[in-house]
Amino acid sequence: MQILRSGVCLAVMALLAGAMVSVPAGSRAVADEVCSDEWAPVCAVFPDGFRRTFSSECWAKLNNARWLHDGVCLGAWCPDTDEPVCAIDPVSGHHATYGNLCWAEVADASLVHPGACWRHHWHEPAVRTRG
C-alpha cells in the first residue's frame, strides 16, 4: 500500500498506518500549497463510512473526510479495555461516552476528550473541540 503526500511515496508509513490515501483529481496543486508535508496522522471517515488514516487533518479535509481522532485508525476489532472517551455521536450529534477510543472510532464518533463525558455534555448539541 502507499500513502501519497506531496508526490512522495511513503510505503513504510503506509504499512504502519494500514491505509492508502490519495488526493482527488485536480486537487494536487491546491493540496501542495495548502497541506504541509508534516507527518501528523489522523483517523478520518469518508461520507460513505469508510475510515482511513491520513498524513494530516489537512489531507483528510481535502479528501472530504471527517476527523475522528489524532493518530492512525485502530481498525474494526476493538480490545475489551475500559478506557472511556467522550466523543460526538454522528447520528444524534450529542456527546456520548464510549468504552475506549476504538469503539468510538468504529461508531464514527469524533473524539472530544479522554474520559467519560461530563454531565453537562449529555443533552447539548456537540461542537468538536481539540485540546
pLDDT at 25 over 90: no
Tell me if residue 62 falls in helix, strand or coil.
helix
Tens of pLDDT, residues 102-129: 999 999 999 999 999 987 655 554 444 4
Instruction: Identify any residues that bridge with 95 across adjacent strands, giving them in sequence order.
Output: 88
Cβ atoms of 4 and 22 closer than 8 Å: yes
Tell me if residue 43 falls in helix, strand or coil.
strand
Number of neighbouring beta carbons within 10 Å of residue 14: 18
Cβ atoms of 72 and 16 closer than 8 Å: yes
Tens of pLDDT, residues 56-102: 999 999 999 999 999 999 988 899 999 999 999 999 999 999 999 99
Q: Which residue has the higher pLDDT, 7 or 106?
A: 106
Question: Domain segments of the chain: what residues?
Answer: 1-73, 74-126
Cβ atoms of 86 and 115 closer than 8 Å: yes
Sign of CA dihedral 128, 126, 48, 28: negative
In CATH, the architecture of 74-126 is 2-Layer Sandwich (3.30)
Phi and psi of 52, rounded to 5°?
Answer: -145, 155
CA distance 30 to 92: 34
pTM above 0.75, yes or no: no
